[in-house]
């Protein structure tokens, strides 16, 4: 079994904030109850890496150019199942990897569990290599817990053919978005401007973040919870009014009915992330004249563009890895090397929108997208990333997601405003943090 990772004073303070434990060593003891890395028969270090994105080609390139460090890639599902698998491996005392691909919204949860290595000393110098808003997503209390991989800045995909047929102008503000929704419904009541996805907490969070919402902040060694703060309430009220006036419909992302609505033009826009272009490629318009375009996400004021992140991921090192230096070296290479970037953005594989500045500068990022009428989309999403308000994620995001989703469903079912769901999630989240023994202010 690997030895517990060393705890510097700065790391002790960070873990005290995260875990509210009397001793940072308690988290280290839990995290180090694992094995997984070692040496292959050739004498090279072997790093085990869990990732769900199709990045095998990039790993193969590393292995062919770095004979002393071999990376073994496996692909468990992402999101919550990563946490569940890590929990099982840690409990068993074996089988956990050296590195793991982590959604930004799950990073704090894994750090709180004591599963991640604080890589500040080895990775802080990487900051200039990344989009600033992406780098902020791997920081907790100023410490570095992962290397950014890809980002999901939000924009608006829209059906150009439908807009032109009805003389609609692409809305730049939320007020204009509402007016456009009303005009479309008046012109053709078989269509809606878009759909509200009742079961997608992180989609809502990205729009709330674009208005400046910050669901979690830290104050000393306490967590401050503000899920039902003013920006989130404004976001909820906006969608409540659109739904009440039948200007938008509801439909859950990724289900067959939603895909069909995108294809047949029932929905004329989708507020979606950079990685969403792949969905539109897989489900193209059924009408021969149908074509998608992409524009900036509407904002409160046209002269103050803003966006939020929906999705994106990072590469984190597991606490207790016997090869932290090699793991950080690989994570840095994977997410900054130009040749690796070309493989990560390849539409035949992962089609990621890179977090690194060097990756965003690669010609492959500016490739034409079949789904967008053969046009590139990178300029719109680069600008979105520059104007993104970064949400700080809390240590119980699975609970937040589930409680908010359930509360939204209940509010819609009862005809209540969506802000009621925010109040519910605020209360259950404070209770969940307190149940973990964390210091909380609200």
Higher pLDDT, 143 or 76: 143
Identify whether 375 is part of a domain: no
d(CA 21, CA 223): 14
Closest CA to 151 of 307, 311, 315, 279: 311
- pLDDT-derived band at 221 (thresholds 50, 70, 90) equals confident
Shared domain for 114 and 78, answered yes or no, is yes
**DSSP conformation letters of 85-98:** HHHHHHHHTS---S
- Do 183 and 318 lie in one domain? The reply is no
The model's pTM is: 0.90
Residues 419 and 299 both lie in one domain: yes
Predicted local confidence at residue 17, as pLDDT: 52
Note whether residue 236 is domain-resident.
yes
pLDDT of residue 350: 76
Question: Is 80 part of any domain?
Answer: yes
Determine which of 29-33, 57-61, 318-322, 354-358 has the lowest per-residue pLDDT on average. 29-33
For residues 279 and 164, membership in a common domain is answered with yes
Residue 83 confidence class, pLDDT cut points 50, 70, 90: confident
Instruction: Quick: pLDDT tens for 178-189.
Output: 999 999 999 999
What torsion, rounded to 10 degrees, do the Cα atoms 143, 229, 314, 439 define?
Answer: 40
Mean pLDDT of the chain: 89
Do the beta carbons of residue 314 and residue 137 sit within 8 Å? Answer: yes
Per-residue model confidence (pLDDT) at position 347: 77
Instruction: Please answer whether residues 144 and 118 qualify as being in contact, where contact means their C-beta atoms are separated by less than 8 angstroms.
Output: yes
Res 68 pLDDT > 50: yes
With respect to residue 208, please indicate whether it lies within any of the assigned structural domains: yes
Total domains in the chain come to 2
Domain residues for the domain of 39 are 9-151+311-363
**Same domain membership, residue 405 and residue 320:** no
Percent of the chain with pLDDT over 90: 78
pLDDT at position 209 over 50: yes
The answer to the question of residue 22 being in a domain is yes
CA distance 390 to 107: 14
Please check whether residues 157 and 293 belong to one and the same domain: yes
Domain containing residue 199: CATH number: 3.40.190.10
Do 416 and 284 fall into the same domain? Answer: yes
The reply to whether 196 and 261 lie within a common domain is yes
Query: Do residues 60 and 209 share a domain?
Result: no
Residues 298-335 pLDDT 10s: 999 999 999 999 999 999 999 989 999 999 999 999 99
Same domain, 138 and 160: no
State the average pLDDT over residues 26-35.
40
| Judgement on whether residues 105 and 245 belong to the same structural domain of the protein | no
Asked whether residue 411 is domain-assigned, the answer is yes
User: Does 371 map to a domain?
Assistant: no
Confidence of residue 92 (pLDDT cuts 50, 70, 90): confident
What whole-number percentage of the chain has pLDDT above 70? 89
Confidence class for position 9, pLDDT limits 50, 70, 90: very low
Same domain flag for 34 and 123: yes
Residue 1 lies in a domain: no
């Amino acid at each position: 079994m690997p030895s517990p990772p060393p705890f510097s004073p700065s790391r002790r303070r960070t873990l005290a904030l995260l875990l509210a434990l009397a001793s940072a060593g308690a988290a280290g003891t839990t995290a180090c109850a694992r094995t997984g890395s070692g040496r292959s028969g050739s004498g090279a270090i072997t790093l085990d890496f869990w990732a769900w994105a199709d990045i095998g080609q990039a790993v193969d390139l590393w292995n062919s150019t770095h004979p002393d460090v071999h990376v073994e890639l496996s692909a468990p599902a992402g999101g919550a199942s990563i946490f569940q698998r890590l929990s099982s491996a840690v409990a068993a005392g074996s089988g956990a990897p050296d590195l793991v691909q982590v959604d930004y919204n799950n990073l704090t949860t894994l750090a709180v569990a004591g599963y991640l290595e604080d890589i500040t000393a080895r990775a802080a110098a990487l900051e200039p290599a990344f989009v600033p808003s992406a780098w902020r997503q791997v920081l907790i209390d100023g410490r570095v817990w992962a290397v950014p991989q890809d980002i999901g800045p939000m924009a608006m995909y829209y059906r150009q053919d439908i807009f032109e047929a009805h003389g609609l102008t692409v809305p730049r503000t939320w007020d204009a978005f509402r007016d456009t929704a009303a005009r479309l419904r008046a012109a053709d009541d078989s269509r809606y401007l878009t759909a509200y996805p009742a079961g997608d907490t992180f989609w809502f969070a990205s729009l709330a973040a674009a208005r400046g919402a910050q669901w979690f902040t830290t104050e000393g060694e306490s967590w401050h919870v503000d899920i039902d703060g003013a920006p989130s309430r404004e976001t909820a009220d906006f969608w409540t009014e659109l739904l009440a006036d039948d200007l938008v419909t509801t439909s859950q992302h990724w289900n067959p009915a939603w895909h069909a609505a995108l294809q047949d033009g029932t929905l004329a826009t989708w507020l979606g992330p950079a990685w969403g272009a792949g969905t539109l490629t897989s489900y193209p318009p059924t009408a021969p004249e149908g074509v998608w375009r992409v524009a900036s996400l509407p904002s409160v004021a046209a002269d103050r563009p803003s966006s939020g992140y929906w999705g994106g991921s990072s590469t984190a090192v597991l606490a207790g890895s016997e090869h932290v230096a090699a793991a950080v070296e690989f994570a840095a290479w994977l997410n900054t090397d130009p040749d690796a970037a070309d493989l990560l953005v390849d539409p035949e594989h992962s089609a990621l929108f890179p977090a690194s500045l060097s990756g965003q500068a690669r010609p492959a990022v500016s490739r034409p997208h079949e789904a967008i009428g053969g046009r590139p989309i990178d300029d719109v999403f680069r600008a979105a990333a520059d104007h993104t308000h970064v949400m700080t994620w809390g240590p119980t995001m699975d609970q937040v997601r589930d409680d908010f989703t359930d509360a939204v469903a209940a509010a819609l079912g009862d005809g209540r405003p969506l802000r009621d769901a925010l109040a519910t999630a605020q209360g259950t989240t404070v209770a969940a943090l307190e149940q973990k023994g964390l210091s909380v202010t609200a």
